[in-house]
Chain A
Amino acid sequence: DAGITQSPRHKVTETGTPVTLRCHQTENHRYMYWYRQDPGHGLRLIHYSYGVKDTDKGEVSDGYSVSRSKTEDFLLTLESATSSQTSVYFCAISGQGFGYTFGSGTRLTVV
């Protein structure tokens, strides 16, 4: 999607290993979000950021941490991946009054 990229697009990792997903934006938007999408659960907010080094928890934050050292980058880290964290992860950005723009997603499989 224009202005927002996620990497990697696909990843397979083993249980117990650390994993970092990256979201990069070129829109200079203040707000950035990480969601996970699972069948039957829709989109659930993991963490979000309202500025550099300003982050807060969402509804499913356990087992995840985030960092935002620059406006353009928002990292999601699974400190010790578990099978329950197998999911599709979406990053989104938002400027004031302009709704969300989502990235193309990262499909993570924890085996």
Chain B
Amino acid sequence: QQQVKQSPQSLIVQKGGISIINCAYENTAFDYFPWYQQFPGKGPALLIAIRPDVSEKKEGRFTISFNKSAKQFSLHIMDSQPGDSATYFCAARVGSEKLVFGKGMKLTVNP
């Protein structure tokens, strides 16, 4: 019930391509869905987030799509750049400000 399942585990795309990361959850009490980006040797940093009453949120090249009925959400990175190479985590929150994280996806964008 508390899990967030993330796929794929890794992804390699060419510069300019679209990167897509998917997450699924079971607990309908989750009320906040953030994505975090982590570079090697650094802590994760908040990238973009969405609430379940919104189906899509876009910030620059990053878009979250949210499907409440399917209990799925995804991150799309348009025009992927080598600087986007990082590990991406989806997460979900249920009460008490406590986040549950997916296992992460390592993105490599080739020049």
Q: How many residues of A contact B (CB 8 A)?
A: 25
Q: Specify the chain A residue showing the minimal Cβ separation from B32.
A: A99
Of residues 60 through 111 on chain B, the ones whose CB sits less than 8 Å from some CB of chain A are: 89, 96-104
Q: How many residues of B contact A (CB 8 A)?
A: 22
Given A40-B103, A42-B104, A99-B34, check contact A31 B43 (CB 8 Å).
no
Contact B44 A43 (CB under 8 A): yes
Contact B97 A43 (CB under 8 A): no
Name the contact of A41 in the complex, choosing from B34, B97, B103 (C-beta under 8 A): B103
Question: Complex: how many Å from CA A43 to CA B81?
Answer: 25
Name the contact of B89 in the complex, choosing from A42, A48, A92 (C-beta under 8 A): A42
Question: Complex: how many Å from CA A99 to CA B32?
Answer: 9
Contact A96 B97 (CB under 8 A): yes
Name the contact of B98 in the complex, choosing from A44, A45, A105 (C-beta under 8 A): A45
Q: A43-B101, A99-B34, A105-B42 are in contact. List 4 more A-B contacts (CB 8 A).
A: A42-B103, A43-B89, A90-B43, A103-B43
User: Which B residues fall within an 8 A CB radius of A?
Assistant: 2, 6, 32, 34, 36, 41-46, 49, 89, 96-104
User: Which A residues fall within an 8 A CB radius of B?
Assistant: 1, 30-31, 33, 35, 40-45, 48, 50, 59, 90, 92, 94, 96, 99-105
